[in-house]
Amino acid sequence: MMEQISQLVETLKTGTGLWNPLIWIVAIVIAFLIVYIIRSFGNKDYKKGTEQTKAFLSGNPEYEKEKMHIKSSNIYWGFLESLKWAYNALDKMHTGNVSDYVLWFVVIMGVFFIIMGVL
């Protein structure tokens, strides 16, 4: 019985590294404790129902909730815009055409044939 328990908490060794989730969990709990202590320091001069709790959008009025929800196609807009060249190529690649699918199969087959035949 005891060795099963010990086997549960053993460390996974990956040749050069190791990984043990239980130690990680303990570490993360300690980190959260520290964060909570630091947070409790700033907690004294916090008053409910005053200006502090309102959202401050640099003076602009606050929208109502439905307007503030960001649609998923707007997220990472900058990333997609900066990688437009890659995405154009990928979109050109993904034609929904069955013949192109089979053509890619033939291309890969040819590449493997060349590798195998040459070497």
Partner 1 sequence: MSIEELFNFLLDHSPALIVAIPLLGAFLTPLVGKINDKVRNAFAILVVAFTSFLVFLLANDILTNNTIRTYVFGAENAGSPIVRILFEVDGFSAYMAIIASILAIAGVIYAWSHMKEHTGQDKFYTLVLLMIAGMFGMILTGDMFNFFVFLEITSIAACALIAFYTNKGKAVDAGFKYIVISSIGALFILFAIGILYSQYNALNMAVIADSITFSFLDKIALVLLISGLAMKAGIVPMHMWLPDAYGRAPASVTVILIGATQASLYGLFRMVFSVYGNVFSSIDVTKDTVINTINSVNSVGWMLIILAILTMLIGALMALKQSNLKRLIAFAALAEVGYMLLGVGVRLASKVSQDITIAGETTTQVAFQGYSATALTGSVFHIMNDALDIGLLFLVAGAIYLVTKETSLNKLGGLARNMKYTTVFFLIGLFAVSGMPPMNGFASKLMIYQSTFQLNPIIAIVAILCSILLLAVFVKVFHSAFLGPKLPSLKDVKEAPKSLLIAMGIIACIIIFIGLFPNLFVENIVTPAANAIMDSAKYITAVI
Partner 2 sequence: MSIRNIVALAFFGVVALFLIFGALMTHPFGEFDEDNTPEMDQYIIDNTQSETGADNGVTAVVFDYRGFDTLGEATVLFTAVAGVIILFRRLKK
Partner 3 sequence: MLFNLPYIAVVALILIGLAAVIFKRNLIKIVIGITLIESGVNLFLITLAYRGGSTAPIYTATTTEETIMSLPVPHALTLTSIVIGVAVLALMLTLVVHIYRHYGTLDARKIGREEE
Residues between 66 and 105 that touch partner 3 (CB under 8 A): 94-99, 102-103
| Contact of 21 with 12, CB cutoff 8 Å | no
Interface with partner 1 includes 76 (CB under 8 A)? Answer: yes
| Contact of 11 with 2, CB cutoff 8 Å | no
CA triple 69-70-76, angle to 5 deg: 160
Residues between 26 and 55 that touch partner 1 (CB under 8 A): none
Tokens of 105: 């199969």
Q: Which stretch binds partner 2 (CB under 8 A): 19-27, 70-78, 83-91, 110-118?
A: 110-118
Q: Which residues bind partner 3 (CB under 8 A)?
A: 94-99, 102-103, 106
